[in-house]
Every structure is written in structure tokens, then in C-alpha cells.
């Protein structure tokens, strides 16, 4: 769902600067969340937009939203704009960084010498959930678009994970429910539980839970033929059901990882000719569901 910000709210938000945030460990401090909420809810229509956002993420049939904040990005400095976006994020869940060595917002730029399938690579980034091998992955992953690929690539892709699973055969679902999958390493992480290895892609005890999937496991993990075939069938269904769109500067994508998986089409060829300061740039922020909303792991 795309959510546009009414022009009168944009004017009010531009005139309402937010203070620097404080952290409690790697989480946004409760005091900062309360301060931001007090300031933002004093602007007419903010609560209406926040309620629309929450419904788009957790209501029936929902699971992702794009906040169109381009006008605000143009009007505010980078720091002021990030504080505002953090305030919107805190209306959904608690912002945090699972990477102690990174700040709250993590840059995702473009590195031509990186593994093409990685988030900062230049190739196709297949469907996945972030931090798939943690016992408590982030409930939401979010991406703020700062710059487009000047050559025109990098379309975002999303797919309803549970809808894809529902289209699978019963035999495939049974295989995906077995603790037979593993992917990646696990070190120097905060707030995402313990390493989960091996793990099931489907957890039958929680119908609204994570579909723990990353297509990269098909190439980079040793799986039995049957388990690999079931995961490959899921990958195909995810592609069949995908939606795609190009994030514009100032667009803020929020994905409920308990419902949708995400990825990215390849960037346009010729990235090595683009100066680093002009390449595509996203900022990533993770969110932990509040215990009171019933969706926390």
C-alpha cells in the first residue's frame, strides 16, 4: 500500500523539529519514542496517517507499506528528515539496530566489487527475510530511499510469503516444516536471539509466524535433494506472486517480515561508471514489535 502525506500535514511536520534520539542499548529509548509521539501527534492528521500505516502492515491482507515522504526529504536536512522518519517508524514498533558496530540507520550503498546478490551488490537480490537464522528476527525491516540508481535499475520486489506457501503441495509444505535448513553466519548481533541452526522454513505451531526463507540457501547451503526441491518450489511461487515498484527519493518502505519477503531486481549495467557519491543509496532500519501488539516473537 502506498500512503501519501496530505500537504497540510507536510507543512506542519516541516515546522516541527524533533530532538536527537537516545538509545537504550541498541534500541530507541522509550523516552525518545514518547517525546517524538508527543510532538508528532500535536500535528493535525498525523494520527490518521499513523493508523493507516499500522493497518496496512497488520490488517487483513496487508503486510507492507510505502510512505511517500519525498517533499519532506527535500524540505528538511538529512538529520532532521531521519528523525522524522524514525518518529513514523516508532508508531509501528520499536526501532533498533541488530549490529552493534552500526548506528541505528545503516547505509546500503552500491559496491561493484561486492557479491552481486548481496544488499549492496549490483545483481538480483532474491527473495529473503532479514536475519533468517536468528531465533528472533526483526519483526519489520524498513528501507528509506535516498538516491535512485541513476541508470534506472534496482526495482524493489515483494511477495506474500503465506500466500505462496498456500499454493504449494502438501508434501512440499511438510518438508518445509522440518528443521533441515540453514544459511549464513551468526556473530556480533544484538536483539535477535540466538543462532537458529538448523531451522524449519515453516513453523506449524504459529500460523502467523515467519516463513524463514532466503533463496540464497539454495546455492550456498548443503540441503538434501527433497528439501532443496521444496524450497525451490517456494522460491518459484514467491516470484509468481511478486509485486514490484521503484522506490523514489524520500519513499519509506516498511515490510512486515511475518507476512512478506522482499528482494531487489538487478541494478542497471554500468555501475562502475557512476561515481560512488551518485550511486543508489538506501538507509535500513529494523523494528521490534511491541509486546502489547501480539506479534512479538
CATH number at residue 26: 3.60.130.10
Q: Look-up: residue for cell 508434501?
A: 171
pLDDT digits (tens, 9 = 90+) for 203-227: 765 657 899 999 999 988 889 999 9
CA nearest neighbour of 286 among 16, 3, 28: 28
Q: What does pLDDT average to over the chain? A: 93
Asked whether the predicted pLDDT for residue 51 surpasses 50, the reply is yes
> What is the structure's pLDDT at 220?
80
DSSP letters spanning 51-89? HHHHHHHHSTT--EEEEE-HHHHHHS-HHHHHHHHHHHH
Of 220, 193, 217, 204, nearest to 134 by C-alpha is: 193
Whether residue 56 is contained in a domain is answered as: yes
Cα dihedral sign, 163-164-168-172: negative
Q: Which of 21, 30, 1 is nearest to 291 (CA)?
A: 30
Radius of gyration, CA atoms only, the chain: 19
Grid-cell match 520486489, residue found = 157
Instruction: Please check whether residue 16 lies inside any domain of the structure.
Output: yes
pTM of this structure: 0.94
Is the pLDDT at 62 greater than 70, yes or no? yes
Kind of pairing, strands 2-4 and 64-68? parallel
Q: Rounded mean pLDDT of 240-252? A: 97
Q: Please state the rounded mean pLDDT for residues 194-204.
A: 91
Residue 161 lies in a domain: yes
Q: What's the whole-number mean pLDDT along residues 54-74?
A: 96
DSSP state of 247: P
Residue 148 in any domain: the answer is yes
Q: Which domain holds residue 90?
A: 2-289
- Under DSSP, the state recorded for 144 is E
Question: How far is residue 172's CA from residue 168's CA, in Å, rounded to a whole number?
Answer: 6
Confidence tier at 294 by pLDDT (50, 70, 90): very low
Is residue 297 in a domain? Answer: no
Question: Which contacts of 44-52 are long-range, i.e. CB under 8 A and separated by 24 or more positions?
Answer: 44/8, 44/9, 44/12, 45/6, 45/8, 45/9, 46/9, 46/12, 46/13, 49/3, 49/5, 49/6, 49/9, 50/88, 50/91, 52/3
Average pLDDT over residues 250-259: 97
Residue 143 resides in a domain: yes
Split into its structural domains, the chain has a count of 1
Please name the residues in contact with 291: beta carbons below 8 A apart, sequence gap of 6 or more.
Answer: none
Q: Is residue 294 part of a domain?
A: no
Q: What pLDDT shows up at residue 82?
A: 97
Helix, strand, or coil (residue 24):
strand
**Is the predicted pLDDT of residue 156 greater than 50, yes or no?**
yes
Beta-strand relationship, 125-128 and 27-28: unpaired
Task: Look at residue 23 and tell me if it is in a domain.
Answer: yes
Question: Grid coordinates in use for 22?
Answer: 537516545
Amino acid at each position: 500500500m502506498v500512503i501519501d502525506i496530505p500537504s497540510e500535514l507536510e507543512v506542519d511536520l516541516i515546522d516541527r523539529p524533533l530532538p536527537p534520539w537516545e538509545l537504550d542499548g541498541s534500541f530507541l529509548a522509550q523516552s525518545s519514542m514518547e517525546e517524538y509521539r508527543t510532538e508528532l501527534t500535536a500535528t493535525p492528521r498525523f494520527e490518521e496517517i499513523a493508523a493507516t500505516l499500522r493497518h496496512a502492515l497488520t490488517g487483513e491482507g496487508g503486510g507492507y507499506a510505502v510512505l511517500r515522504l519525498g517533499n519532506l526529504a527535500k524540505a528538511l536536512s538529512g538529520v532532521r528528515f531521519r528523525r522524522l522518519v524514525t518518529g513514523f517508524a516508532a508508531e509501528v514498533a520499536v526501532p533498533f539496530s541488530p549490529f552493534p558496530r552500526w548506528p541505528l540507520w545503516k547505509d546500503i550503498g552500491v559496491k561493484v566489487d561486492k557479491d552481486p546478490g548481496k544488499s549492496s551488490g549490483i545483481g538480483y537480490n532474491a527473495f529473503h527475510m532479514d536475519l533468517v537464522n536468528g531465533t528472533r528476527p526483526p519483526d519489520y525491516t524498513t528501507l528509506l530511499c535516498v538516491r535512485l540508481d541513476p541508470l534506472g535499475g534496482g526495482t524493489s520486489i515483494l511477495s506474500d510469503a503465506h500466500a505462496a506457501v498456500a499454493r504449494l503441495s502438501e508434501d512440499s509444505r511438510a518438508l518445509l516444516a522440518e528443521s533441515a535448513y540453514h544459511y549464513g553466519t551468526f556473530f556480533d548481533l544484538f536483539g535477535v536471539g540466538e543462532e537458529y541452526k538448523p531451522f524449519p522454513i515453516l513453523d506449524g505451531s504459529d500460523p502467523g509466524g515467519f516463513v524463514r526463507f532466503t533463496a540464497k540457501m539454495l546455492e550456498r547451503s548443503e540441503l538434501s535433494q527433497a528439501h532443496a526441491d521444496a524450497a525451490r518450489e517456494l522460491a518459484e511461487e514467491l516470484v509468481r506472486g511478486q509485486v514490484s515498484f521503484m522506490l523514489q527519493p524520500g519513499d519509506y518502505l516498511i515490510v512486515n517480515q511475518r507476512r512478506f519477503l522482499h528482494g531487489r531486481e538487478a541494478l542497471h549495467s554500468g555501475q562502475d561508471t557512476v561515481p560512488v557519491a551518485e550511486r543508489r543509496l538506501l538507509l535500513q532500519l529494523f523494528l521490534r514489535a511491541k509486546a502489547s501488539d501480539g506479534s512479538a516473537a
